[in-house]
Amino acid sequence: MIYCLNPRCKKPKNPDGTEICQACSSKLLLKERYRAIQFLGDGVFSRSFAVEDIEQRKVPCVIKQFAPLPQIQGHSEAMAKAMQVFEQEAKQLLELAEQYPQIPTLFDYFEQDKYLYVAKYYIEGKNLAQELQGHGAFSEHQVREFLYDVLPVLQVLHKRQIVHRAIKPTNIILKKSDRKFVLIDIGISKQLADTRLTKTNLRASTEVYTPIEQLRGGKAYPASDLYSLGVICIQMLTGAQLDDLYDPVEGRWMWREYIRNTGTDISDSLAQILEKMLQDSIKDRYQSASDILKEFYAGAIPRTTTSDRSKSSTQEPEKKAARWQCIHTIAGHLDTVTTVAICPTASIVATGSADKTVKIWQSDTGKLIRTLLGHSDTVNCIAFSPNSTGGETPPLIASGSGDKTIKIWHLDTGKLIHTLTGHSVTVFSIAFSPDGEMLASASGDGTIRLWHPGTGKLLNVLAGHSDFVESVAFSPSGDRIASGSWDNTIRIWQVSTGKLLHTIKGHSGGIWSVTFSPDSQTLASNSGDNTIKLWHPETGTLNYTLTENSDSAWSVIFSPDGQTLASDSGNDTIKIWHLPSRKVRSTLSGHLSQVRSIAFSRDGKMLATGSDDKTFKIWRFE
């Protein structure tokens, strides 16, 4: 079925293969590219259609059509003004989409037959209204996760003076692929409404989510979006109809009383945040999404706890424990912070994310220096070249991604120098050799590839694993490479020849991470079997096993002193191990979700951690 996009057409449905509408003689192919195949619905300002893009046949897309008022369409100067406003907004959103791939805005815009169109990628999943119907009340944890998904997007929009204006359950999609909430319908139609170029009636079904300043004066601010988001949150927490949560006599929301009557508990911290979001007066609400995120992170004050201690002489003195302090919690990514790295100078931290970006930060201030764009999938790993402190060779940073590539960037300028291709599956891990003359990459294709970072030339391919290779590390001596795989083995390779020296077996689950001690005499590995094992890399023999992890850890790393090991705990904490005693010295808490990556500074006094909560933290040992 092909749909005619003429709003006045009385019989818009046409058989497949039709090029001209059989009812009104309108062309059925927009811009010689888009063919409407399903009517999705109409909104306050627009109509939406699922379309076939003949240039990208396998990519599902949506077209939104905006109709300027008849008096605008019939007036050339007014129509020109409409197009000018439309193009300005479209260009801004197009730029936003290029910079922040996680934000679903648009990839094309145009005018045809005095109607305005934008093309967007289709997001598969149910909208929140559908989820609410089938789900009932959401838990506090689920509501917090919802806010962690949506608030960073609003943070980006509001910084660019873009107000959504129509935040409601039907404009929030729970993606089928990763179960993350995505805010849709961003931009164009609401901005055009300000110019009175389109029809602007506010439907009763959306009024309950709309703050008073929009209802009475038609004006909207960042705080207006936050009010709407707060209404959605109390609907999620209660599972009730919103009419049952508002007292028109007292003129206030009664959601907390409703929750108490159902016997449900909710933390004071979240309740206070929601109450402030729901204030009638703009000045009494949060003024930005950033303000709410700061409240969340301030409410999760990092605490450092110490394990029960042995009186053994190998145990460090009590006074040295529990001295890691979180100095920065930084929210700048739109999705999981999958990887962190600290520059050898310890003045710069790099982060990679599922939002497909690499970001460079000042470690002392937490200020963003630059964002590196270019990957088309999750950034899984990053590494600084050892000469990032200076020298004849330019300082480099490398990143590996789910797009199967490794990118090498100039650290000082952010310029892309090389894109290395050859892996056939996701790149999970990368590592520079100690002299900076070689870069190793590990992939889901079961291989480790060795590259020259200066030229981008492939030097060698190490094959032998029978499953994904999740981690790769050079020994500090520079003559060995260790690789960890989902085939439950660790392999030790000779760098100069690529010869396999040892296959280490002992884990009963896949290997997530491998790391050498500073003296190259010990290799640590962590696994899906919930253990961390310490090995002698020259012989492949097991030294001992650390067993206090209750869950499978993602990351493990030695401190430069060789006596300390840091690991995530398969949850939202980081364990600091004292290796001579084989005990956990302290546990660092503060992240709100799974910790994914850990990095030490060269002097061992700073630690960076990345998490599913979309933040990274910088800790200092003081």
| Domain co-membership, 501 together with 516 | yes
Residue 393 lies in a domain: yes
Q: Which residues of 281-297 are buried (b: 16+ CB within 10 A; e: fewer)?
A: ebeebbebbbbbbebbb
Tokens of 47: 């109509």
| Domain co-membership, 94 together with 131 | no
The residue among 416, 454, 413 whose CA lies nearest residue 432 is 454
| Domain co-membership, 351 together with 481 | yes
Residue 311 lies in a domain: no
Express each pLDDT in 310-366 by its tens digit: 333 344 444 444 488 899 999 889 999 999 999 986 689 999 999 999 999 999 899
Please state, in angstroms and rounded to a whole number, the distance separating the CA atoms of residues 389 and 345.
6
DSSP for 242-260? GGGTEETTTTEE-HHHHHH
Please state, in angstroms and rounded to a whole number, the distance separating the CA atoms of residues 275 and 268.
10
| Domain co-membership, 207 together with 77 | no
The reply to whether the predicted model has a pTM over 0.95 is: no
Residue 318 lies in a domain: no
Q: Over the chain, what is the mean pLDDT? A: 86
| Domain co-membership, 160 together with 292 | yes
Contact 525, 536 (CB under 8 A): no
Tell me whether residue 562 is exposed, middle or buried, using C-beta atoms within 10 angstroms of its C-beta: 0 to 12, 13 to 18, 19 or more. Answer: middle
Residue 310 lies in a domain: no
Q: Find where tokens 């002193």 sit.
A: 561
| Domain co-membership, 443 together with 581 | yes
| Domain co-membership, 20 together with 161 | no
Residue 522 lies in a domain: yes
| Domain co-membership, 135 together with 37 | no
| Domain co-membership, 288 together with 378 | no
pLDDT band for position 589 (cuts 50, 70, 90): confident
The domain that holds 383 is classified in CATH as 2.130.10.10
Residue 511 lies in a domain: yes
Of the residues 230, 264, 299, the one at which a domain ends: 299
Helices 289-299 and 222-238 pack at an angle, to 10 degrees, of 50
The domain that holds 260 is classified in CATH as 1.10.510.10
Q: Which of 67-71, 120-124, 249-253, 552-556 is the most confident on average?
A: 249-253
Quote the domain boundaries for residue 376: 323-621
Of the residues 106, 121, 136, the one at which a domain ends: 121
| Domain co-membership, 180 together with 290 | yes
| Domain co-membership, 117 together with 131 | no
173-187, 316-330, 497-511, 519-533: the lowest-pLDDT one: 316-330
Express each pLDDT in 533-584 by its tens digit: 999 999 999 999 987 665 667 899 999 999 999 998 767 899 999 999 898 8
Number of domains in the chain: 3
Please state, in angstroms and rounded to a whole number, the distance separating the CA atoms of residues 292 and 82.
35
Residue 304 lies in a domain: no
DSSP for 361-429? EETTT--EEEEE---SS-EEEEEE-TTTT-SSSPPEEEEEETTS-EEEEETTT--EEEEE---SS-EEE
Express each pLDDT in 100-113 by its tens digit: 666 776 788 888 88
Helices 128-135 and 222-238 pack at an angle, to 10 degrees, of 20
Residue 98 lies in a domain: yes
The domain that holds 101 is classified in CATH as 3.30.200.20
| Domain co-membership, 115 together with 132 | no
Tell me whether residue 204 is exposed, middle or buried, using C-beta atoms within 10 angstroms of its C-beta: 0 to 12, 13 to 18, 19 or more. Answer: exposed
Please state, in angstroms and rounded to a whole number, the distance separating the CA atoms of residues 298 and 293.
8
276-280, 327-331, 490-494, 497-501: the lowest-pLDDT one: 327-331
